Structure 1
C-alpha cells in the first residue's frame, strides 16, 4: 500500500493484446507534438479532426428512470442549459495522441500518493470540454483518501478520485461526461489509473455503452458487462444502479478500479424527503471511499485546468441531511448531565463535514459528537466513564439504536466496558460482551487503547457498521509531552478520518446543553467559512463565542498531519493564506486583545500555524512584546550546554539550559545519537497556561512549543520565543548530555552551590534574555530579567527557599532533597486565580517580589506560594474533594510559617486569628453541622484542632503510612472513615466522637472498632457544643 492507504501503483499499464489494443491503458507520458494551427486539443480523433466519429458520441437512450439523457431529465423535461466557456483551454502543452500509451517506472511509483495520482489523471488534459446540456451535481469529499480532480471557479468539486481497500475510485458528477468524446484524454487517464491487475479487462455497464467506442477508438479494449466480476480490472457504471451496491464495494476493496458517473440533484427532485447523501444509489458505493454526490447543482460556466491539485472547499451545505440524525440521537433529551460522573472528559474537535456535536458547554466545548462515514455511523464520548453514567441512560439507548440503523443486529460491548451492557439491558437492548470486534457485529462499543486494527474498524464503519467510542486523551498527553494527541493518540488514528478528534483539553463535569432544532450550533468548518468571509470583507458577524472557539480549534486541527491528505491540507492552506494577509495582533496588559473576535482567533491560529512548521515570515506582528523580542540577536556560532538528563522521579521534568529563543526564530538543536533515542523532548517557553477561555488576552493564548528530540539534529520553531528546556522522562539515567543550539541567546541563570557571585553579576549584565531563573535542587523561580537585576547576591534568598522546601518535604513525608524540583513561574496572565498549583506553579507578575525579596518573605510571610506548594502535596487518598481542596494545603502554610519563618498562624493569615476561628466554628455549629458546609477554612479548622492537640508528628507519620499503603478507597465516605481510624491509631485516642461533632459520616463499624481506645477528654468540640446549647 502507498501513503494514506493508496494502493501501490498498477503493474499492468503497458500490457497489450495481440493487436494494438490495450486492456489497461496508462496515462500518457509520451512526448507531446506541437498543436496544429487552428486545432483544439482534447476533442476529435488523434489528429484533432472534429469530424471524426469520436468527436461527439450521440446521446444514448434507454437509461434508467433517474438517469439523464442528453438534454433531458428522467421526467422528460429539458435540463437547464449552461454556457461553457470553451475558450478556456489553457495550453499547458498539447496532449499526446491517446493511442500512444507508454509507461515509465517513475510514473508507476508516483501514482501512490494523491498529488501524483492527480498528475497522472490530468496528464495531457488541457481543457474541460463538457457537454452543454449536462448539469452536474457538486461532490462532497471527506476522509483521508479522497481528492478533487476538477473544481469550478466557485469551488465546487465536480470530478474526484479516491481509494478503498486495495482498489481505486474515480467519480464524475454527471454520467454524460463518461460518454463525451471531448473528454477522451481524461477518460483514458482515469481507466489507466484505476487498473491495478496486469492484463485485466475493462468492463462497461450497458448504461454507458458509448464509452466502449471511445476507449476502443483510442486502442483500449473494453466490453459490455451487465455485472461486475472478479475477472475485470476496471468497471465503469452510472450512479443509479441499485442492485450491485455490495458487489461494487467488494470489487473495489479487493483491488478493482471503479469509474462512476451520475448526478443527484434531479434524482432528489423526483423523490419525497430523500436524504441524498445516505440513500442515493451511487453514494451507497462511493461513500465508502469518502466521495458523495449531493443535491447541489454544479456551476459549469467557467473552468480552468489546474496544474496542481485544487483545494477542497471548506464547507459544502448538507445540514438538512444531518438534522434527522441529531433528532433521533437526542429524542427526549434536553441535556447531557455528567455532574456526578467523577471524571473529566476530553474536549472533542468536531471538524468533519458529516460530523456534528451533541453536547456542548457554555464555551462550545464538545463532550459527545456523532458522524456519518460511508454507509456507517459513529458516536464518540470524551471519556469511557460516560458509558457508566446512569443519567445518560436514555442517550446511550438512543445512540446504540441509531448506530444499529434499524438492523436489530448484534451489539458487541468490549469486555472492559461490561457496565454499559447492564445499562443497555435495562432499556431492552441485548448485548454480547467480547474482547474485540466480531465479524457479525452491527454495533461495537469500545475504548481505543492501541492502533491495532484501525483499518479494519474504519472499513467496518464505511461498510455500514456502528462504532460507539469512549476515550479521553489528556492523560495520554500528560504521559507524552511534546507529542500531539491529534497526530499520535491511538483513538485519533481511528477517528480523525471520521471528522471527530479527541483533544488533550479537559472539560469540567456538569450538564451539557444539546443542540436545538432551528438554532445554529457551533461547528469548526462553518465558523471557519464565516471567518474567511469576515477577514476578506472586513465586515460581518458570527455567533457569540464562536471566534473564541475557532482559534484553539484551528490550532488543534493544524496538529493533524496533513501531508498528502487533501481534506486536511486544504484547510491548512486556507489558514496560512488568511494569516499571511494581515499583521499578527500583539496582546499586552496595556492593549489587550478581545478573545472572541477575529484578532483573538488570529492569535491562536498563528500559534498552531507556527507549530505546524509553516514559514514564520508569514506571521508579522504589529509591534514587539515581551515574548517576541526580535531585537535579541542570536549568536552566530552555535551554543553548547551540558544538560543533566538524569531523572529519578516518577514523572517527566524540565531541565533548564540557561538559553533563550527569540520569537519567530528557527533553531537547530543537535545532540548525540544515543540521546536521540532516549525519549527526550525540547520545550521553548515556560508559560504553559492555556488562556483560550479568557475573555481578554494580555498575551497569546498558547505560547510554548514542545516536540520530540528523536533525531540527532532537529529544527524547531516557536512564534513567541521563550526559555529553552529539555524534558527528561521519568527514571532516566542518561546523565550529562551536550546539547548544541543554533539560534539561541544566553539568559540569566543562577544555581545555588554552583554559580558564584561574580558569575551572576556578569550574567545579569551580559545575558540579554528577557527571562531568567534562580535555582536550587528543590525549587526553581522563573521571573523577568528586569526584576533580577536588582538582586546582587541570590544566595541568601535561595538558602531560605531551600529551608522552606525542606519543611514542605518534611510535613509531606517526602525525601529531601526532592527528586523533582518544584517550579514557580511568573506570567503576565494566568488561567485561573491569583496563583495556581501544578508543574509549574503559576503566578502573576505582581507576585514576583514576594518570591525574590528575602526581607519581605521573612517579615510578611509566603502564604500564597506555600499554599500552592501544599496543593502539589495533596494526595487523592486523603483528600475529600471538594471539601478539603482549599483546606489541607494550608497545613503546609501554617507549618512553614511557624517552623521556618517564625510567624505564628494568626499573624500569617488574618483568617487564622483566634477570634475569627472561634466565630467560624460557632457559625458552622449554629446552622446545624453538615458536611455540605464543611469547606475551606471551616474544614481547615478540624485539622488545626488536631494539630494543636497532638502536634505535627501524627500528620507526618500518617502521610508516611498513606504512601506505603495500596488498594485504598476512592469515595469520600470510605476515605473519611479510614482517616478517622488511622489518626485515632496514631494518637491512641478514640477520635470518632470528635469527627462526629464535625458531622463526618462515621460508619457504625468504624465507631465500634475504635471503642477500645481511650476517650479524648480534651476534645475541644465538647466545649463548643456545650456553650452552643
Structure 2
C-alpha cells in the first residue's frame, strides 16, 4: 500500500486530535526511508508515526495514554486494521492496556486481552517500557506481524539523561529498527487538525544524542587524515539526522562520515583504497572498535578488501574474509554492489556495524544522465543511513579531522537558511560560509526519488515552501547573482526542485494569461544516421508552463526524448550567475501523451538517438507558442516577413542544411530576408566539409547557440557550440562577416571536425582547428589570413618562430600558433587554387603502412597535413624536412606517435623555415 493510501486509511473518520487530556506526550524522531508521521503538532513535533520493517508494520504513539483514550478510538481501530497481516488475524493486547482490549472488542476485532507475545498473534499492542523481549518483538515484525506501541521517554530521560534516550530507552530497542525513536522532549498539549495529506517530517529534531562523542571516539589519536592512497575519492552528502561528517575540506566537502541507524552504526569512506591504507590505520582501528560497540565480536571482510585483515591482525582484532553472515559483529565491504542491500539494512538496524567505502565518479562517467545519488549501487545501501556517495571526484589530499566546533551539515545548513528566509535575518556566519556547499548539496539531494517516500518528499515540500516564501530571484546580465549568495542558493533550489515536478507553475507564481495553448502539429525527422541530434519544432514553452505532446505509438520506447531549452551549459561552478545554473529539461518519451514542464521555459526539441530509423514523425504540441524559425530553401520569404519573424518566443532559429543558429528573437525581427545571410553560412559549411574531407551533408547539422552566459571562454565547441550574446552581431551581419571576419565561430566549428587519430594533444588541440578558420576566411569570405587574425601577420609569425627556435625548439612550446605554423608551412607557395585537407599518408607505399598503424588502434598517432584535389603530394622528403625544421624529428615523445617507415627516413636538420605570405 502506498504511503498516501495508508495515511487516508489511518485518518478515515478521525476528527481533530485532542491532546488536552492528563497525559504529556513526547516528540518522536523519524529517520531512514520507511517512517512517516500521521500527526504533527502545531509546533511541528511528531506525535504519531508509522513505518515498515521486514514484512511487518509498526504504529508508534507518543504516549501509552493515546492507546487507552476513547477519544482516539476511531484512529486505533483504523491502525489495528492496517497492522493486521490478514483480516482474521488475532490481536494481542499487553496486560497494561486493558482499556484498549475493550475498545477493540467493541469494534468487533478478534482480541486476546492480557496477552504476551506469541507466534499465534497477527498484531501485538503494548507500551514502550519493557525491554526484555526487544529481539523477539523485532523478529515478530520482521516476519510480518503488526506492532502498535505507545509511550513517552521524557520521564525516563529525567532519570537517566536525555543524551541516552535514543539508544538506551526500552521502546527504542524495538521501534528504532523501523526508523522511529522516542525522544526526551515533551510536547505541549493542544487540539491539532487532521492534515489533508501526510504531514511534513521536521527538518531538525533536538534529540540530545551527543554524536560529537562518537566523532571524538572515531578520531581519537588522529591528527591528520591522509587520503592520498593511490585512488581518486568521491564526495559524500551527509543528509541524515543521525549522520555526521568526520573529515571536511576547506570547501566543506565531506570525505569521511559516520551514522547511527536503528541499533547499529555505519562508517563511510570515499575510496575502497582507504579501507586498507596504513596511513589511515589508527582511524580504521578506531572505526572497527566503534562499530563493534564493545561486543569484541568477529569482523567480516569482503574478499575485495582482504588487505584490511592484515591491518586488523596487527592490533589482534579478530577478522576473517567472509560474506555477510549473522555471526558477524562488523562487516567491511566496498560500495560497488547492492546485491545484499536488504540484508545489510537489517544487519545494521539490528545492531551490526558496517564499514563501507568506494567512489562513484567512475560509475557516473559510465552512466550519463543517471544521478549517482539515486542509482549508484552503494547508495541503494547508504541513502537510508543518511549518507550518500556523490558522482563528483575530488583530489586526494591530507586533511585535518573535524574539530569540536560547529561544522557543516546539510540539514543544519538548510534549517539555518530556512530561518534566514522566513525571518529576513541578516546573513552571517556560519551560514554565510556554507551557502555554496548548501546549493550543491540541495541539487544532489533532490535527485533522490521522492515519489512514494515521505522521508524525501517532506524535504521537497520544505524547499518548495522556502521558494514560495522568498520568490525566485531575478537574474540577468544586468542583474547578476554571486555564487555564494542567498539568491544563488534559491536559483539552484528552484531549478532542481522543478525537475522533480510535473508542473512547475507553483514555483513561478505567474499567471498563464496571454499564452496561446492551441494544439500545433509539426513533423520531425526521426531518422538519424549521426550522433544524438536535436530536432527543432519551431515552438517555445513559456516559463513555468506545461506542454502536452502527443506522439504516434511507434515512438514510445524508441529512445526519443523531449527537451525544453537549448542553453545546455551548467553554470553551477561559476562565481557569478547571469542566469540560473541549469535551464533545460529533458525527459524520455514513455507514453503517447507526454507532459513536460520547465521552470525557465525554452524552445521545444525532440531528441533523436543515433541510428534511429523512424522516418517522418508527426507530433502535436499543446501549451507552447510559436518561435521564429527560417530554413534556407524551405521557409517562405513572404511568410517570414509577414508573421514568422514576429512570433512571440524570445529565441529564434536560422538554419541551413548543416548548421542551425539560435539567437535572441529581437536580433532577427528587423531582418526582412534571411536568405543572403544563410546562403553565406551555407557556403561556409560546405567549405568546412571540404577541408574535413567528409561528405557535404553532415550526419547531423551543427548548432551554435548564444547565451547570456556560458561555462567557459568566449565560445566553446560541442553540440551545441555555445557563444555569448555579443557574438550574435558577427554571425548575423553579412557585411561584418565579409569585412571583419568570423574567426571565433569557425574556430569552434573546426574543433568539432578534429579527429582524435590525427591530433597530438595537448599541442595541436588549439592549433589544427584554426585551419578551418584560415581556409574559410580565405576561400569563402575573401579575407587573407594576416587580416583574419592578428596572430597571423607576417611579423608575428616570424618572431614566434625565431623565439621558438631560440628556446631550443622544445615540444612543450609547440602549441597553438607555433603548432599551427607547422601546418601553414605545408600550404604556402603552392598556387592560387590550392585546396588542402587532412591526409594520412606520404605516398602509396607509406600510406598502406600508415593505414595499418591507424587501424591497429594501439595508440594515438599524428597525421600529416598535405594537399589534395588540385595538387599532387610533394613527397616524403618534404615532410621530413618539415618535421626537422621544427625539431620534431628528434623529439622522442613526438616520434613515438609516427610509423616506423617514416622514422627511418628522418635525419637531423636545423634548417629554419620562416613564414611565407
Q: SS of the residue aligned with 1:409?
A: strand
The 5-angstrom pairing of residues 109-128 of structure 1 reads 113-119=5-11, 123=14, 126-128=17-19
Residue 91 (structure 1) aligns with = none
Checking the alignment, whether the CA contact within 8 Å between 2:257 and 2:267 is kept in structure 1 is yes
Determine the C-alpha separation between the residues in 2 that align with 1:877 and 1:128.
75
Following superposition, the deviation at residue 785 of structure 1 comes to 1.5
**1:756-799 residue CA offsets vs partner (Å, 9 max, x unmatched):** 43343345444222211122332221001121234444344434
Mapped pair 1:521 → 2:407: yes
Mapped pair 1:718 → 2:609: no
Determine the C-alpha separation between the residues in 2 that align with 1:243 and 1:260.
15
Following superposition, the deviation at residue 315 of structure 1 comes to 1.2
Mapped pair 1:741 → 2:621: yes
Determine the C-alpha separation between the residues in 2 that align with 1:986 and 1:351.
66
Q: SS of the residue aligned with 2:653?
A: strand
Residue 160 (structure 1) aligns with = 49
**1:236-264 residue CA offsets vs partner (Å, 9 max, x unmatched):** 44545555443322221110112334444
Residue 3 (structure 1) aligns with = 2
Residue 185 (structure 2) aligns with = 297
Determine the C-alpha separation between the residues in 2 that align with 1:603 and 1:657.
28
Q: 1:397 to 1:903 in 2, by over 3 A?
A: farther
Mapped pair 1:149 → 2:38: yes
Q: SS of the residue aligned with 1:1014?
A: coil
Mapped pair 1:783 → 2:663: yes
RMSD: 4.8
Q: SS of the residue aligned with 2:905?
A: coil
Mapped pair 1:691 → 2:571: yes
Checking the alignment, whether the CA contact within 8 Å between 1:632 and 1:768 is kept in structure 2 is no
Which residue, out of 58, 67, 90, partners 1:169?
A: 58
Determine the C-alpha separation between the residues in 1 that align with 2:853 and 2:526.
27
Following superposition, the deviation at residue 554 of structure 1 comes to 3.9
* Structure 1, unpaired ranges of 5+: 5-111, 623-627, 970-974, 1025-1029
Determine the C-alpha separation between the residues in 2 that align with 1:204 and 1:525.
39
Determine the C-alpha separation between the residues in 2 that align with 1:337 and 1:351.
22
Determine the C-alpha separation between the residues in 2 that align with 1:915 and 1:1016.
29
**1:584-638 residue CA offsets vs partner (Å, 9 max, x unmatched):** 332222233444444333333333444433765544579xxxxx9x78642x531
The 5-angstrom pairing of residues 375-390 of structure 1 reads 375-377=263-265
Which residue, out of 932, 948, 953, partners 2:825?
A: 948
The 5-angstrom pairing of residues 522-561 of structure 1 reads 522-542=408-428, 543-551=431-439, 553-554=441-442, 557-561=445-449
Mapped pair 1:373 → 2:261: yes
Determine the C-alpha separation between the residues in 2 that align with 1:387 and 1:794.
64
Q: How many residues align?
A: 882
Determine the C-alpha separation between the residues in 2 that align with 1:810 and 1:388.
57
Q: SS of the residue aligned with 1:310?
A: coil
Checking the alignment, whether the CA contact within 8 Å between 1:161 and 1:169 is kept in structure 2 is yes
Determine the C-alpha separation between the residues in 2 that align with 1:810 and 1:768.
38
The 5-angstrom pairing of residues 719-868 of structure 1 reads 719-806=599-686, 808-809=688-689, 816-868=696-748
**1:834-865 residue CA offsets vs partner (Å, 9 max, x unmatched):** 22233222111101122223333343333322
Q: SS of the residue aligned with 1:674?
A: helix
Following superposition, the deviation at residue 169 of structure 1 comes to 1.0
Checking the alignment, whether the CA contact within 8 Å between 2:660 and 2:703 is kept in structure 1 is yes
Give the structure-1-normalised TM-score.
0.73
**1:319-360 residue CA offsets vs partner (Å, 9 max, x unmatched):** 86443454566663756767986x7x7765543323445566
Q: SS of the residue aligned with 1:127?
A: strand
Following superposition, the deviation at residue 146 of structure 1 comes to 0.8
Residue 567 (structure 1) aligns with = 455
Residue 62 (structure 1) aligns with = none
Determine the C-alpha separation between the residues in 2 that align with 1:390 and 1:283.
38
Mapped pair 1:700 → 2:580: yes
Which residue, out of 299, 303, 308, partners 1:409?
A: 299
**1:265-309 residue CA offsets vs partner (Å, 9 max, x unmatched):** 555565589664445554343222111233x41223334252444
Determine the C-alpha separation between the residues in 1 that align with 2:650 and 2:597.
18
Checking the alignment, whether the CA contact within 8 Å between 1:680 and 1:726 is kept in structure 2 is yes
Q: SS of the residue aligned with 1:544?
A: helix
**1:891-919 residue CA offsets vs partner (Å, 9 max, x unmatched):** 55455555655655554433455555565
Which residue, out of 384, 391, 394, partners 1:497?
A: 384
Following superposition, the deviation at residue 734 of structure 1 comes to 1.2
User: Is 321-330 or 637-646 further displaced after alignment?
Assistant: 321-330
The 5-angstrom pairing of residues 972-991 of structure 1 reads 979=862
Determine the C-alpha separation between the residues in 1 that align with 2:449 and 2:201.
16
Following superposition, the deviation at residue 740 of structure 1 comes to 0.7
Determine the C-alpha separation between the residues in 1 that align with 2:186 and 2:502.
34
Mapped pair 1:312 → 2:204: no
Following superposition, the deviation at residue 459 of structure 1 comes to 3.7
Q: 1:1023 to 1:537 in 2, by over 3 A?
A: closer
Mapped pair 1:653 → 2:542: no
Which residue, out of 633, 638, 663, partners 2:519?
A: 638
Q: SS of the residue aligned with 2:419?
A: helix
Q: 1:562 to 1:955 in 2, by over 3 A?
A: same
Q: SS of the residue aligned with 1:567?
A: helix
Following superposition, the deviation at residue 142 of structure 1 comes to 2.0
Following superposition, the deviation at residue 833 of structure 1 comes to 2.4
Determine the C-alpha separation between the residues in 1 that align with 2:784 and 2:250.
44
Q: 1:863 to 1:453 in 2, by over 3 A?
A: farther
Q: 1:908 to 1:355 in 2, by over 3 A?
A: farther
Determine the C-alpha separation between the residues in 2 that align with 1:898 and 1:591.
41
Determine the C-alpha separation between the residues in 1 that align with 2:502 and 2:901.
67
Mapped pair 1:139 → 2:28: yes
User: Is 723-732 or 890-899 further displaced after alignment?
Assistant: 890-899
Q: SS of the residue aligned with 1:694?
A: coil
Following superposition, the deviation at residue 690 of structure 1 comes to 2.4
Checking the alignment, whether the CA contact within 8 Å between 1:202 and 1:232 is kept in structure 2 is yes
User: Is 268-277 or 849-858 further displaced after alignment?
Assistant: 268-277
